[in-house]
Structures are given as C-alpha cells and as structure tokens.
Amino acid sequence: MSSRRICVFCGSHLGRDERFVGAAIDAAERIVRAGYGVVYGGGRVGLMGVVANAALAAGGEVIGVIPGALASAEVAHQGLSALHVVQSMHERKAMMTDLSEAFIALPGGFGTMDELCEALTWRQLKIHDKPVGIFNFEGFFDPLLSLFDRMVDEGFVMERSRALLRASSSIDELLSWLDGPRNGNLPSS
C-alpha cells in the first residue's frame, strides 16, 4: 500500500468533449508516476471511472470510498485496490480526507464542486492542513476562479484563504507544488 495518496474529485459524467477523458487519463498517470496512490469516490462511471482505471493500469493503488446507497453493482468499481462502503456522504468525505495528503479537483459537476469547496472550507478552518489544487484543464474552472476572486474583492473571503487554493493547467506543476514548501499556509495563531 502506498502511504502517499492524493484525493481526486471529478465528474461522474464523461463530459461532452472527449479531451476531458484524455486529460483525466493523463492526470491519473502523472499522479501515479509521481509516486502517489489515488483516493476517490469509488464509482466506475464518468471521469471517476476513467481516473481509477488509468491509475490502476499505471500500477497505482486506488482506494474508493462510496456510500452504500451509491454502491449498487451498477456504480461501484469492483476492481479497486480497496473499496470502503460507508453510511453517508459525510462519512465518505471524512474518510477520503483521512486517507489522503492532498486534494486535486478535475472537471466535474455539483458533486465535484461540493467536495472541492468542503476541502477548501475545512482547510480554511484548519480542520485539516492538506493542500487543495485544481487541474484547470482548458480553463474549465476560470469562471469559478473569477467568482473566488470576486469574493475576495467583495470582502467575503480573506486574501490568505484565497491563496490556499492553487489552480494550474499542468498536473506536474500542481504535483510539485503539493510536494514543495507551500505558500499560503495559514499562520498557526
């Protein structure tokens, strides 16, 4: 079992443009090549399934965490290194956090947004100190990043909280940021 794992949030749909699939495969391979296992939502659908299969094919450890209600045979991925079936979405997100040392969001929908914003909020509240990155493939997240900047401008988010989030169009760049001394850590006081 690899002890270093990245939690990947991404769509349960494939997206219209097949380049999203290519980007998800490339991201998973780079994460594994960098020596990380993958923790994710445990499904075999959409970009989630693509990421899991690509990481497994690259020889990586892939751990899924899925609530019982979603784990029906159609959705849960049965070929993972480990699949934890939990009671609730809350338990799932807590376990995904515990099993990982960092988070990376790939393109997705509301579920991806929910997970990304919770990881960021928990970081802001110092519930964890794990870095949160966005793989901003083809500018997919640009409107969200603009909204986050607007939140700072309008006084709803502190600059130092905004600085906790790193977005990049390069997975390798995100991985070196996760691995290096990180800017944006909140002071301990």
Interface mask toward ligand AMP for 113-142; x: CB under 6 A: --x---------------------------
CA distance 106 to 91: 22
Whole-angstrom distance, CA of residue 140 vs CA of residue 56 = 26
Distance CA 134, CA 166 (A): 6
Task: Assess 110 for contact with ligand AMP (CB under 6 A).
Answer: yes
Helix/strand number for the chain, H first, E second: 7, 7
Q: Which of 11, 15, 60, 131 binds ligand AMP (CB under 6 A)?
A: 11
Alpha helices for the chain (secondary structure H):
19-33, 46-57, 89-99, 110-124, 142-153, 159-162, 171-179
The window from 22-30, 102-110, 136-144, 169-177 that contacts ligand AMP (CB under 6 A) reads 102-110
Count of residues interacting with ligand AMP (CB under 6 A): 19
Rounded CA-CA distance 8/54 in Å is 13
User: Counting contacts by CB under 6 A, is residue 68 touching ligand AMP?
Assistant: no
Residue with smaller CB distance to ligand AMP, 10 or 175: 10
In the list 23, 51, 66, 167, the residue contacting ligand AMP (rule: CB under 6 A) is: 66
Site residues, ligand AMP (CB under 6 A): 9-13, 41-43, 45, 48, 66, 70, 75, 108-112, 115
